[in-house]
Amino acid sequence: MYETAKEVVLNLLSLVERYGFVLNGARSYYTNRSQPPLLSSMVLEIYFGTGDLDLVKKAFPSLLKEHNFWMSDFHRVMVRDNQGQIHSLTRYQAMWNKPRPESATTDEQMASKLSSEVDKEKFYRQVASAAESGWDFSSRWMRNPPDMTTLATTYIIPVDLNAFIYKMERDIEFFAELTGEHTTSKEFSETAKARQIAIDSILWNSEMEQWLDYWLPADVQCQGVYQWNSKSQNRNIFASNFIPIWLNAYHHSGSVKYVNESKSKGVMRSLKASGLLHSSGIAASLLNTGQQDFPNGWAPLQHLIVEGLVNCGSAEAREFAEDIATRWVRTNYAAYKESGVMYEKYDVEVCGRSGGSGEYKHQTGFGWSNGVVLSFLEEFGWPRGKEIVCS
């Protein structure tokens, strides 16, 4: 469906042209918060599928604009490591300090626990920023889960967001090379390298062999430069802690740019021991808060991790990727056979069961679940020699 994919991407590009970023949804009341930035990846996938250089040329200025949005002072956080090196990383922050228009009653009810108007406005910004991250809502953004009023999204440097922006920078580097913009290509190569070093200096935890969200001090307005402190890494385990495996082994036009074998092995070891992997996939987190946490598994998270493992290139990583994909396809198929629908999320503990909880009823349809199953089937084929039924 190359034409459909292209038209969807053209819609998203028009949002960037108009607003500077991809809106959280194409609705007038979403103009103050973004989506996780994955537009460059979409353009790249279509280019690999079709060789459509015109699309790349059309997208290029918009991708630069979107990158600029994420590089602004509003999103940038500077952290000095123990060697004195200053790194620049990015956080979510919605430009919004009112109840979310789509859930105003819920937000006002939650905020009623707070006394001052200033605290309410701060809270509303944290809520909208969590929505911007796609993890709405999760213990990941709470100082004191499951207390929603302790959401602190803008005080966190998220692992996944920085991996996405790194990927965007590599994609722009590649597009610039394709379209003959050699200076821009070089510039983005440098920017990406700096971010990779930043991610590995500030977010990587060598003892736990995974990347950890970094918490900024609570009493500041996130300006200036913070001194890195190992205690500020959030040691709670989330599926997002493993997403950078996707950049550890990053591909361009089929050729592997960089794979750190020993690191890949370490990350696999730690994912296997993390407690996230269950009979029907990888959970979002270990904590059951009644939100979008455990035992919910999300299609994009399975996909990012499986794709990252495949990119590692080793037989061991591929086998692990296929194992995760098989668990996921099996539960999706069982649920589909029983209900005739695909779900938004699945319960990773029970084969064939949809996920639950969160602030709205479970949804059917569902674009990303459909897409991820198709992608797994394309990558691995129908699970070979394995019963595709719940055991």
Residues 238 and 203: beta-carbon distance below 8 Å? no
Segment near ligand NAG (CB under 6 A); pick from 75-83, 94-102, 106-114, 322-330: 94-102
Of residues 31 through 90, those in contact with ligand NAG by CB under 6 A are 32
98 forms part of the interface with ligand NAG (CB under 6 A):
yes
Residues 34 and 24: beta-carbon distance below 8 Å? yes
262 forms part of the interface with ligand NAG (CB under 6 A):
yes
Our CB check for ligand NAG shows the closer of 41 and 97 to be 97
Smallest gap from residue 244 Cβ to ligand NAG (A): 12
Our CB check for ligand NAG shows the closer of 178 and 208 to be 208
Binding residue for ligand NAG, selected from 50, 97, 149, 314, defined by CB under 6 A = 97
Residues 120 and 114: beta-carbon distance below 8 Å? yes
Smallest gap from residue 283 Cβ to ligand NAG (A): 25
193 forms part of the interface with ligand NAG (CB under 6 A):
no
Alpha-helix runs per DSSP H in the chain: 2-19, 39-50, 53-71, 104-111, 117-133, 159-178, 182-198, 245-248, 261-272, 299-312, 315-339, 367-380
Smallest gap from residue 189 Cβ to ligand NAG (A): 17
Residues designated as active site: 136, 344
Smallest gap from residue 272 Cβ to ligand NAG (A): 16
115 forms part of the interface with ligand NAG (CB under 6 A):
no
AA identity, residue 301: L
* Residue window 196-225: x/- pattern of binding to ligand NAG, with contact defined by CB under 6 A: ----------x-------------------
146 forms part of the interface with ligand NAG (CB under 6 A):
no
DSSP bridge partners of 227: 80
State the first-to-last Cα distance of the chain, in angstroms, to the nearest integer: 34
Residues 241, 218: Cα–Cα separation, whole Å: 22
Residues 175 and 59: beta-carbon distance below 8 Å? yes
Binding residue for ligand NAG, selected from 5, 38, 95, 350, defined by CB under 6 A = 95
Segment near ligand NAG (CB under 6 A); pick from 96-104, 176-184, 236-244, 378-386: 96-104
Which among 358, 377, 368 is positioned nearest to 106, based on CA atoms? Answer: 358
260 forms part of the interface with ligand NAG (CB under 6 A):
yes
Our CB check for ligand NAG shows the closer of 229 and 260 to be 260
Binding residue for ligand NAG, selected from 21, 30, 96, 380, defined by CB under 6 A = 96
Segment near ligand NAG (CB under 6 A); pick from 149-157, 222-230, 261-269, 383-391: 261-269
Under DSSP, the state recorded for 233 is B
User: How far is the CA of 162 from the CAs of 67, 88, 132, 197, 332, in angstroms?
Assistant: 12, 10, 14, 11, 30
Residues 280, 3: Cα–Cα separation, whole Å: 33
Residues 298 and 366: beta-carbon distance below 8 Å? no
Our CB check for ligand NAG shows the closer of 58 and 98 to be 98
Q: How many residues bind ligand NAG (CB under 6 A)?
A: 10
Of residues 318 through 357, those in contact with ligand NAG by CB under 6 A are none
Of residues 263 through 322, those in contact with ligand NAG by CB under 6 A are 263, 266
Q: Any idea which residue has 């990383």 for tokens?
A: 89
Tokens representing residue 199 in the block: 């991610």
SS3 annotation, 27-77: CHHHCCCECCCCHHHHHHHHHHHHCCHHHHHHHHHHHHHHHHHHHCCCCEE
Contact residues for ligand NAG, defined by CB under 6 A: 32, 95-98, 206, 260, 262-263, 266
